[in-house]
Amino acid sequence: MRGEVFGAFCREQLHSLTTTLSKALQSMRRLAVELAKPGGRFTEAGIRHKIARWLAGAFVSELVHYQLEKREGGWHLQFDFDNSALERLLTHRLGRTTLLTNRMDWTAEQIVAGYSGQQHIERVFRGLKDGDWLGWGPMYHWTDSKDSRACVLQHAGISLLQYIHKKAQAAWAGLSMEQLLEELRQIQQFTLLYPPQGEKGPNRVATVLSKQTLPQQCLAKELGLIRCVVPQVGNTLSPFRRPPDSDVYHCRLCLSSKLPLAPLLAGVHSTCVRVRTLRKRRRPYLCMHASSGL
What's the per-residue H, E or C state across the chain? CHHHHHHHHHHHHHHHHHHHHHHHHHHHHHHHHHHHCCCCCCCHHHHHHHHHHHCCCCCHHHHEEEEEEEECCEEEEEEEECHHHHHHHHHHCCCCCCCCCCCCCCCHHHHHHHHHCHHHHHHHHHHHHCCCCCCCCCCCCCCHHHHHHHHHHHHHHHHHHHHHHHHHCCCCCCCCHHHHHHHHHCCCEEEEEECCCCCCCCCEEEEEECCCCHHHHHHHHHCCHHHHCCCCEECCCCCEECCCCCCEEEEEEEEECCCCCHHHHHHCCCCEEEEEEEEECCEEEEEEEEEEEC
Residues 74 and 9 in one domain: yes
Task: Write down the pLDDT at residue 102.
Answer: 92
- Evaluate whether residue 19 is within a structural domain: yes
Segment 148-154 shows an average pLDDT of 82
Quote the number of domains for the chain: 3
Domain that holds residue 11: 2-92
**Does residue 190 carry a pLDDT above 90?**
no
Q: Domain boundary residue among 184, 205, 224?
A: 184
- Evaluate whether residue 196 is within a structural domain: no
**Does residue 114 carry a pLDDT above 90?**
no
Cβ-contact 3, 45 below 8 angstroms = no
- Evaluate whether residue 136 is within a structural domain: yes
Residues 8 and 79 in one domain: yes
Residues 67 and 139 in one domain: no
Task: Write down the pLDDT at residue 260.
Answer: 45
- Evaluate whether residue 30 is within a structural domain: yes
**Does residue 275 carry a pLDDT above 60?**
no
Dist CA 253 CA 72 (whole Å): 101
Q: pLDDT category, 105, cuts 50, 70, 90?
A: very high
- Evaluate whether residue 43 is within a structural domain: yes
Cβ-contact 98, 116 below 8 angstroms = no
Residues 14 and 59 in one domain: yes
Residues 8 and 88 in one domain: yes
Segment 264-280 shows an average pLDDT of 40
Q: Domain boundary residue among 68, 92, 116?
A: 92
Task: Write down the pLDDT at residue 67.
Answer: 93
- Evaluate whether residue 213 is within a structural domain: no
Give pTM, 2 decimals.
0.44
Task: Write down the pLDDT at residue 234.
Answer: 54
- Evaluate whether residue 38 is within a structural domain: yes
- Evaluate whether residue 60 is within a structural domain: yes
